[in-house]
Amino acid sequence: MFHIGGCASCHEQTGHEQTTKQPDTLEPDTPEPEEVLPLLSGGKRFETEFGTFIAPNISPDRGTGIGAWTAAEFATSLLKGVSPSGEHYYPAFPYTSYARMSLQDTVDLKTFIDGLPPVSRSNERHQLRFPFSIRRGLGLWKKLYLSDQPIINFSKHSAELTRGQYLVEGLGHCGECHSPRNVAGGIQKKRWLAGAPELDGNGGVPNITPGGSGIADWEKADIAEYLSSGFTPEYDVVGGSMADVVDNTAHLSRADRLAIAAYLKAIPARQ
C-alpha cells in the first residue's frame, strides 16, 4: 500500500540521497547494502496554476509528523480529506482517489509508516493565490468532487479486473495526473485517463486509455513489464515524473501489475 500510494515520491525528505551501491556494482565479498528507509519529513514543492503546494511531514515524529495521530484520524485524512484538527486538506493531497481505499488498508498503511524513522521538521505553509488560499470553499468543492464510488462501471468483473480497478482508481491515484481537470481543479471523469497537461504547465501527461497513443498497442505483459523495469516494448526507458511511479510499482507483485494492466486494457477508449 505504501508503494502503490507513492507516499515517498511526494513526502520524502528533500535533498535525501541514497548512497548505497546497487548490488551489481559491489566489489567482490562486499556485504549487501542495508535497505535505505524513506525519510518522510516533506518539503517537496509542487508548482501549479493555483500556487505552490509544499508536502508536509508524514514521518512518525510525534511533534511535527503524524506519530501522535490515531488510526481513525489517519483514515479520516485519507478517506475524507480532513485533518485531526478538522481542517480540510487541499486536493493536491489525492484523497479524492484514496477515498476508495478499504479501511483495513488505511490501518495497515499507518502501521507501516509508524515503523519508519521519525524526523523532526516543521511544516511550511502553502503559497497559494487568492481565492485558493481560503480553505473554507473546500467543503463545497468536496461535495462536487469527492466520492468513493467507482469511476468506471464494468458490466462484467473478474477478480483481476476488480483488483486492478482498486489499485488504479484508489491508492494508485493514476487519474490525478493522467486525467484533465476543469477550471475548479476537479477531474473530468468523462475524460478519465485521457491525458492532461503537467501540473506545472510544462509538457503533457499521456493518454493511457486503449484509444490513446501512450499504451494503445501494448499487451498486458508489456504494461506489467513497464511498471516493473521502466522499459517500453520499444526499449525506451521511463523518464520524468513517471520514473518515480515506476520506482514504486516495481515493488508490487507481478499479479498486481497485471491487474493494473487488465484494468487499463478494459476501460473505454478516449482519443
pLDDT tens per residue, range 232-267: 998 899 888 899 999 999 999 999 999 999 999 999
pTM above threshold 0.75: yes
Are residues 191 and 180 in contact, defined by beta-carbon separation less than 8 angstroms? yes
Secondary structure percentages of the chain, helix, strand, coil, to 5: 35, 5, 55
What band does 23 get if pLDDT is binned at 50, 70 and 90? very low
**E runs forming strands in the chain:** 45-48, 51-54, 127-128, 196-197, 204-205
Name the residue with cell 478516449: 270
CA 45, CA 11: separation in Å to the nearest integer? 10
Q: Kindly give the pairing relationship between strand 127-128 and strand 196-197.
A: unpaired
Write down the mean pLDDT value for the chain: 89
Residue pointed to by grid coordinates 510525534: 62
d(CA 233, CA 35): 30
Higher-confidence residue of 209 and 134: namely 209
> Per-residue confidence at 29, pLDDT binned at 50, 70, 90?
low
For 70-109, the pLDDT digits (tens) are 999 999 999 999 999 999 999 999 999 999 999 999 999 9
Contact criterion met (CB below 8 Å) for 195 and 205: yes
Q: What pLDDT does residue 20 have?
A: 32
- Assess whether pLDDT exceeds 70 at residue 228: yes
Q: Where are the domains of the chain?
A: 1-15+38-149, 151-271
Cα gap 203→60, rounded to integer Å: 35
Indicate the pLDDT class of residue 149, thresholds 50, 70 and 90.
very high
Q: What are phi and psi of 225, to 5 degrees?
A: -65, -45
Distance CA 118, CA 8 (A): 14
pLDDT exceeds 60 at position 21: no
